[in-house]
Amino acid sequence: MHRRESETWGSLTEDDVRQGTAHYYAYCEQVDEQIGRILDALDAGGQAEDTFVAFTSDHGDMMGAHRMWIKSWMPYEEIYRMPLVIRMPGSAAGACDHLVQTHDIPHTFLDLLGLPALSLRLDKVRPGENEGEGFRSLFVSAAAGKTISTLESRPFNPISVGGYRIHQKEQGRSPRLRLIDGGGREVFNAFVALRARAAKEEPGYEDFFTIPESGYRIDVSMGPREASPSGVRVTVTGPEEEIFRGSVSLGEPVSVGAYTLGLDEVRNWASFRVVRDKGQLPLFLGFLLGITGIGLRVFSTCRWVTVLIEPDKAGALVTVTGWAEREEALLGEEIAMLIVELKGDDPLPLAGKAWQGRGHRAPRGGRPVKAEGIDL
């Protein structure tokens, strides 16, 4: 491996090495400037004091050491030593000599934020073949990397695993677009995450992005997933007018104003919400308690109704008395209906006067009188 790598780069001249070094420094400066923009934006947005910023990489560069360039495959220090700079609000500057690896970073941040350590990982998410079908397979792994579950997820049907619930949230398509200016310089090269259109509209995916230096706005859309992903529909709008509207196919760049726009590949993307909700049971019990309380208050009310039947010459005198904790007029209405029923009259129209003693407490322990045999 060492010999092969050395031979690969062995033909570079001194000028090539100088130029490569100059490019490397230029890249460093460019990265430095862009990181500066992020930090400035955090300052301007007032978020600098509650944001952790980490600058790191996944490898170094051989930069001519051992006659090799780029990241190579050889285990040299130039590759393995990489920057890790973390800015933490309220923390003094300092350096650390411990061995740190990239997979320590998420755990460090979770720890700094006071969140529990990650114990599962979503892996190998495969979309279903048809629109709206969701994801066929969702491999859930424990932190150690061993697959603990292979599950199917559909929208609105969360899967439970290891104390977590995994909800499928959104999914879309992601074309990788490349914009090259007249001088061959790449001004944009990234996946654009298109979101599904609202349900009522024509099915498909869309989003837009802007190129700040040119003032271009690029609207990108694609059809539903079962359609062939050979191209995307693009509208490019300049600062004043529309410059281009049409399709861009895979591997067939088109001329867009002063730029060339190409489509390299199309992928799918999805977002998930992973929930660990230990408060579910107390919350449900709270709901139940609240509903029961409201129900008791609404449907139970203290009422007192006394029916006194006294025989007289004509038959019997019936007196109905009532008292209600609230909504007395309604009780009066119900008693009036009761009287109507006792009298056997048609309830409409009712000759009133049946309701007596409204608003007064009924006499307790009134004499019980048997109604049998009394001619009402």
Partner 1 sequence: VTLTEMAFFWPALAGYGVATFLLLLSLASRKENLLRGGRNFLRAAFILHTAALALRWYQTGHMPGANIYELSSAGAWCTILAYQILLARYRHMSFIGPPLLLISLAMLLQGVSRSGSMGPLSEEYQSLWFYLHAVAAFLAYACYAIAAAAGILILGDSRLRPRMANLPGPELLLDMNSRFVAHGFFYHAVMLTSGSVWADSAWGRYWGWDPVETWSLVAWLLFAFHLHSRRFLGWNGKRLAWLTLLALSSVFLAFWGVSHLPA
Q: Does 215 bind partner 1 (CB under 8 A)?
A: no
How many Å apart are CA 85 and CA 95, to the nearest integer? Answer: 9
> How would DSSP label each residue in 243-274?
EEEEEEEBTB-EEETTEEEEEEEEEEEEEEEE
Question: Is residue 253 a contact partner of residue 238, using CB atoms and an 8 Å limit?
Answer: no
Q: Pick between residue 290 and residue 315 the one whose CB is nearest to partner 1.
A: 290
Residue with tokens 């090539």: 16
How many Å apart are CA 254 and CA 246, to the nearest integer? Answer: 9
Q: Pick between residue 112 and residue 329 the one whose CB is nearest to partner 1.
A: 329
The identity of residue 104, as a single letter, is D
Report in angstroms how near the CB of residue 45 gets to partner 1 at its nearest: 23
Q: Pick between residue 35 and residue 275 the one whose CB is nearest to partner 1.
A: 275
Report in angstroms how near the CB of residue 219 gets to partner 1 at its nearest: 19
Binding to partner 1, residues 249-308 (CB under 8 A): 273, 275, 277, 280, 283-284, 287, 290-291, 294-295, 297-299
How many Å apart are CA 150 and CA 137, to the nearest integer? Answer: 6
- For 25, 45, 102, the CA distances from 54, given in Å and listed in that order, are 21, 18, 11
Which of 184, 349, 365, 368 is in the footprint of partner 1 by CB under 8 A? 349
Binding to partner 1, residues 141-180 (CB under 8 A): 154-158, 165, 167, 169
How many Å apart are CA 290 and CA 117, to the nearest integer? Answer: 35
Which of 197, 233, 334, 342 is in the footprint of partner 1 by CB under 8 A? 334
What are the phi and psi torsion angles at 287 (to 5°)? -55, -50
- For 55, 73, 93, 94, the CA distances from 99, given in Å and listed in that order, are 16, 21, 18, 15
Report in angstroms how near the CB of residue 122 gets to partner 1 at its nearest: 14
Binding window for partner 1 (CB under 8 A); candidates: 51-59, 108-116, 328-336, 368-376: 328-336
Burial class (CB in 10 A: 0-12, 13-18, 19+), 222: buried
Q: Does 350 bind partner 1 (CB under 8 A)?
A: yes
Size of the site for partner 1 (CB under 8 A): 37
Q: Does 85 bind partner 1 (CB under 8 A)?
A: no
Q: Does 333 bind partner 1 (CB under 8 A)?
A: yes
Report in angstroms how near the CB of residue 178 gets to partner 1 at its nearest: 33
Report in angstroms how near the CB of residue 167 gets to partner 1 at its nearest: 4
Burial class (CB in 10 A: 0-12, 13-18, 19+), 20: middle
Locate all alpha helices (DSSP H) within the chain, ordered by sequence.
2-10, 14-44, 77-80, 104-112, 280-299, 328-343
Q: Does 202 bind partner 1 (CB under 8 A)?
A: no
Q: Does 328 bind partner 1 (CB under 8 A)?
A: yes
Binding interface with partner 1 (CB under 8 A): 154-158, 165, 167, 169, 273, 275, 277, 280, 283-284, 287, 290-291, 294-295, 297-299, 326-330, 332-334, 336-337, 340, 347-350
